Chains A and B, each alone.
Chain A
Amino acid sequence: MSLDKATVAKVANLARIRVEEKDLEPLAAELNSILGWVEQLGEVDTENTAPMTSVADMQLRWRTDEISDGGYQEDIVANAPGHEDGFFAVPKVIE
């Protein structure tokens, strides 16, 4: 499997990272070198192996249904680069 410029552009868009046209080619080369090295995983027989899900032998714990959090609007928007009347503010989204 080899990544071309177009694929890198597509992946960058998925990851919402703006990549300049001139950087696509070198990035593709770098990513290809890493992916090429990763190819060796193909040598491992995983036919009957389940993917690892958790390190510890434990079960998911459940929380009791009670209101134990929230109620601090100021703290929620305190760090926002744009906020207005307790809302987060972002460039207008047109649907």
Chain B
Amino acid sequence: MSDLTRLTIAEARDGLAAGKFSAVELTAAHITSMDAARGLNAYITETPEKAVEMATASDQRRAQGTVGKMEGIPLAIKDLFCTKDTLTTAASHILDGFKPKYESTVTTNLWNEGAVMLGKVNLDEFAMGSSNETSFYGNVVNPWRRQTDDQPLVPGGSSGGSASAVAAYTAMGATGTDTGGSIRQPAAFTGIVGMKPTYGRCSRWGVVAFASSLDQAGPMTRSVRDAAIMLEAMAGFDPKDSTSVDMDVPNFEAALTGDIKGLKVGIPKEYRLDSVPAEIQSLWDKGIEWLKAAGAEIVEISLPHTKYALPSYYIIAPAEASSNLARYDGVRYGLRVEGKDLADMYSRTRAEGFGSEVQRRLLIGTYALSAGYYDAYYLKAQKVRARIAEDFNTAFKEVDTILTPTAPSAAFAFGEKSGGDPLEMYLNDVFTVPASLAGLPGISLPAGLSGDGLPLGLQLLGRPFDEETVIRTAGVLEEAAEFTAKPSDWWRG
């Protein structure tokens, strides 16, 4: 049997359907791969026994003729999704030992569609970071290395464990969450596909909250088709989430028609930044050419408030986080550090339980909401956010989708941007944050290599709830890009 881990979800689905291998075999292959890849530190908790159990049940279901959309497909789950009786940490010390007594809606949907859980994957603490360097459980390593050296590189963040796990063939797909680019940017850094659907498409119930008005779950896979299949299984209306949209989930895979003739693709001029390396600019130009060649019409557009997206994001997200993370107080779950009284217990627990980046954002957020500063910071940022959303609305009157680079650089080395100035790290989200603020669907797909052989991604954005156009266009781009490069599997022990 050839290496089952190299299959895409769509291929595995066909193989399982044809009886070429069982879910148990497919899962076993991934467990072996997961074991071999421990050096990447992608997993916080491996659940091989549970995986075999679920795969066995999947084979039984198949034998009885019940086949879900993700039947028998082994997945890695970002450790921000609560999984019943399985340790859930948000990569934070403060959730020490926390085993939820409930299962998130998104993972429930996946299990209902037959998927198999391999384990819980690493991330930036509470999803706050763009390099997976803030996890209490240590850095995640990118399976990709530069051609020129063996220096370990970051996988991006915050869904760095998800990205690394999928890129290193330890899982066929992984759930991610995207608040300001946390699916798309690590997908770009690791040469995989990552999709953030429209805000409201996937339920947030049972997902540890970072910034409620921005957080959105999505799939991370090795092909656009796989992303479509997996998103369809994850998405759906959930009455337990007041921001979940009561709308039918389309057959996303069916959107992959390969036909984009006459489609209008916007190219925002504000995304041409001098600071972005030429190789990324030229990849973007290539993308434009590929779409043009496929019959799309290219339209230059303007998103005038683009440069204000990052600063408003770095007020709104921390402000919401400062409130969302108030529940970690050592009373009902997780870490408790005793103190001389209740207030002292709180502040010791939170000082020890939260890492420095989380603390920094909680302080900024607290300050931005505090008396006398609310109007100047939080309210102002929410108004600017409305202007940014307006920019997109205007643009989408003219175009059907927007093409941009995903990130301003390829994967970088540990410590390269996490040394001194936090702003340097924040700037990584420059191309992903605006769509997050507007709640729009976006996908990143690998489209080329950097000069030193690292994957680079292109991003497509769409109208609210028009994931189908994004997927369709991404399918065309994927075919044109012919991205077949793979990391050398140096990490296999």
Contact = CB atoms under 8 A, between A and B. Distances in A.
Answer whether A and B touch in the complex at a CB cut-off of 8 Å: yes
Interface of A: 1, 3, 7-8, 11-19, 27, 30-31, 33-35, 37-38, 40-44, 46, 49-52, 54-56, 58, 60-61, 63, 72, 75-82, 88, 90-94
Nearest to A46: B383
B104 to A, nearest CB: 16
Contact of B239 (A27, A37, A61, A80): A61
B307 to A, nearest CB: 8
B315 interface: yes
Interface of B: 97-101, 198-200, 213, 239, 242-243, 245-246, 305, 307-308, 311-312, 314-315, 322, 326, 329-336, 338-348, 350-351, 354, 359-360, 362-364, 366-367, 370, 373, 376-377, 379-387, 389, 421-423, 437-439, 464-465
A79 B98 contact: yes
A57 B220 CA distance: 27
Contacts, number: 172
Q: Is the interface of B mostly helix, strand, loop or mixed?
A: helix
Contacts of B346: 16
A54 B243 contact: yes
Contacts of A18: 344, 347-348, 350-351
A34 B365 CA distance: 11
Contacts of B333: 79-81
Contacts of A37: 311, 314, 423
B367 A81 contact: no
Contacts of B334: 79, 81
Contacts of A58: 200, 245-246
A81 B349 CA distance: 12
Contact of A33 (B335, B383, B421): B421
Nearest to B360: A30
Nearest to A56: B200
A57 B380 CA distance: 22
B230 to A, nearest CB: 22
B354 A17 contact: yes
A80 B331 contact: yes
Contact of A90 (B100, B342, B350, B385): B342
Nearest to A42: B380
Nearest to B389: A52
Contact of A75 (B101, B331, B385, B465): B101
B345 A91 contact: yes
A56 B464 contact: yes
A79 B245 CA distance: 32
B314 A34 contact: yes
A17 B345 CA distance: 10
A44 B308 contact: yes
B364 A81 contact: no
Closest A-B pairs by Cβ, 4 of them: A55-B439, A51-B382, A79-B333, A46-B383
B384 A88 contact: no
Contact of B363 (A27, A55, A81): A27
A61 B331 contact: no
B178 to A, nearest CB: 13
A13 B124 CA distance: 25
Contact of A79 (B97, B381, B383, B465): B97
Contacts of B338: 91
A89 to B, nearest CB: 9
B342 A93 contact: yes
A81 B239 contact: no
A46 B334 CA distance: 42
Given A15-B366, A43-B308, A52-B382, 15 more contacts: A8-B363, A11-B370, A12-B363, A17-B359, A19-B351, A31-B364, A38-B314, A41-B380, A46-B387, A56-B200, A56-B245, A56-B439, A61-B246, A63-B239, A79-B101
Contacts of B198: 55-56
A75 B305 CA distance: 47
A3 B363 CA distance: 11
Contacts of A33: 421-423
A41 B311 contact: yes
A39 to B, nearest CB: 8
A79 B314 CA distance: 32
